[in-house]
């Protein structure tokens, strides 16, 4: 951080105002510079109508600054930027009707006419296809569907247990993280990469593929999965190290194959993705922005297979609506 020129944060809706203020404070201290962000240029992108920050610990509710839920509520927000712009052109979807529908849902409008269109156009798949990802609001449904699909393949299961090192509370950070305690794989399993491994080659967090082989590598006690990613890349996936760091000191480590099963994924995990076809059951949707994030991942109405949409779950956070109204009224650019 001492030598950084710029800090880029994507998906800013998931960063709380409290965290943003802490980061600003750390940057100032580390660089001994009281300018905003210690003089580092800050660039953020995202959409506050999408998923808000996740509060992991119950006690955060009782923190004195819990009310700084959104990044735009941070004390440092206004001083952090010379310029704020709203991007209005939609590229992910092409159909004007679908774009209009999604924009209404994004802003929390429960427009009856638009919802009728959604109901007419969306249907479940008669035969669930393994190639079509399924999105669920709750992790327990994601785990259930993935376990069912794994069992359905009927192939020999290879189990990878995580190798952990470190003590409480740091090790718990890793146990709550993406790398599973125990990963079950078999030939044909749909998997998702959960670590950025090689940006140039496109081996990044979120890549989806299929296990095509198990191979023995020297020095490894068990066979490792070889994955054919949908991008065409084929790779043997070795254990990677997941870390909790304090400066350059590792407080806890977890060694695990950086894959999860991916027939089903959570709505939280899919924020940021673009998917050609998806099936989603939104009957258990909770919180602001979840319905919009799930529906807006898909490129066309034709590719959307939907069940369980209750229009009362289409909600925008009042603070977010107010933020955008205020921005439009005071826009200088």
Binding-site ranges for ligand ATP (CB under 6 A): 47, 91-92, 272, 274, 296
Tell me the C-alpha distance between 326 and 311, whole Å: 27
Shortest reach from residue 268's CB to ligand ATP, in Å: 13
Pick the closest to residue 253 from 169, 165, 160 (CA basis): 165
Q: Look up residue 253 and give its DSSP letter.
A: E
Pick the closest to residue 74 from 20, 10, 130 (CA basis): 20
Asked if residue 182 lies in contact with residue 160, where contact means CB atoms within 8 angstroms, the answer is yes
List Cβ neighbours of 251 (8 Å cut-off, separation of 6 or more). Answer: 166, 170, 244, 245
Shortest reach from residue 274's CB to ligand ATP, in Å: 4
Q: Which residue, 143 or 268, is less far from ligand ATP as judged by CB?
A: 268
Q: Which residue, 166 or 272, is less far from ligand ATP as judged by CB?
A: 272
Q: Which residue, 28 or 317, is less far from ligand ATP as judged by CB?
A: 317
SS3 at position 212? strand
Burial of 147 (0-12, 13-18, 19+ CB in 10 A): middle
Match 């593929």 to its residue by tokens.
209
Shortest reach from residue 273's CB to ligand ATP, in Å: 7
Shortest reach from residue 101's CB to ligand ATP, in Å: 15
Q: Which residue, 91 or 333, is less far from ligand ATP as judged by CB?
A: 91
Neighbours of 104 (CB within 10 A): 18
Q: Which residue, 25 or 324, is less far from ligand ATP as judged by CB?
A: 324
Shortest reach from residue 317's CB to ligand ATP, in Å: 16
Strands 182-185 and 190-193: unpaired
Cα torsion angle, 66, 67, 73, 74, sign: negative
Shortest reach from residue 11's CB to ligand ATP, in Å: 7
Shortest reach from residue 272's CB to ligand ATP, in Å: 4
Q: Which residue, 150 or 301, is less far from ligand ATP as judged by CB?
A: 301
Query: What does the CA dihedral 308, 309, 310, 312 come to, rounded to 10 degrees?
Result: 150
Q: Which residue, 92 or 277, is less far from ligand ATP as judged by CB?
A: 92
Q: Which residue, 254 or 299, is less far from ligand ATP as judged by CB?
A: 299
Shortest reach from residue 51's CB to ligand ATP, in Å: 10
Cα torsion angle, 288, 291, 292, 294, sign: positive
Residue 72 phi/psi, 5° resolution? -70, -5
């Amino acid at each position: 951080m001492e030598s950084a020129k710029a800090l880029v944060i994507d998906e800013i809706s998931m960063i709380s105002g409290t965290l943003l203020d802490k980061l600003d404070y750390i940057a100032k201290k580390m660089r001994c510079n009281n300018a905003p962000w210690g003089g580092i240029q800050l660039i953020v992108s995202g959409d506050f109508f999408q998923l808000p920050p996740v509060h992991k610990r119950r006690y955060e509710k009782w923190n004195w600054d819990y009310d700084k839920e959104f990044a735009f509520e941070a004390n440092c927000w206004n001083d952090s930027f010379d310029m704020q712009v709203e991007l209005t052109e939609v590229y992910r979807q092409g159909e004007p009707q679908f774009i209009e529908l999604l924009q209404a849902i994004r802003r929390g409008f429960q427009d009856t006419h638009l919802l009728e269109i959604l109901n007419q156009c969306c249907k479940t798949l008669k035969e669930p296809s393994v190639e079509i990802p399924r999105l669920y609001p709750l992790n327990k449904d994601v785990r259930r569907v993935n376990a069912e699909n794994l069992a359905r393949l009927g192939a020999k299961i290879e189990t990878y247990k995580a190798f952990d090192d470190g003590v409480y509370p740091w090790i718990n950070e890793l146990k709550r993280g993406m790398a599973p305690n125990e990963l079950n794989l078999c030939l044909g399993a749909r998997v998702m990469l959960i670590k950025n491994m090689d940006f140039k080659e496109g081996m990044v967090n979120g890549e989806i593929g299929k296990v095509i082989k198990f191979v023995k590598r020297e020095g490894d006690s068990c066979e490792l999965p070889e994955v054919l990613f949908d991008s065409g890349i084929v790779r043997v996936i070795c254990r990677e190290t997941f870390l909790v760091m304090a400066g350059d000191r590792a407080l806890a480590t977890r060694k695990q194959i950086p894959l999860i099963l991916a027939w089903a994924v959570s709505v939280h995990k899919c924020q940021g993705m673009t998917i050609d076809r998806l099936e989603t059951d939104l009957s258990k949707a909770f919180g602001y922005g979840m319905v919009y994030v799930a529906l807006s991942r898909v490129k066309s109405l034709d590719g959307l297979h939907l069940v369980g949409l209750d229009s009362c779950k289409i909600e925008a956070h009042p603070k977010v609506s107010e933020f955008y109204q205020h921005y439009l009224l005071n826009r200088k650019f």
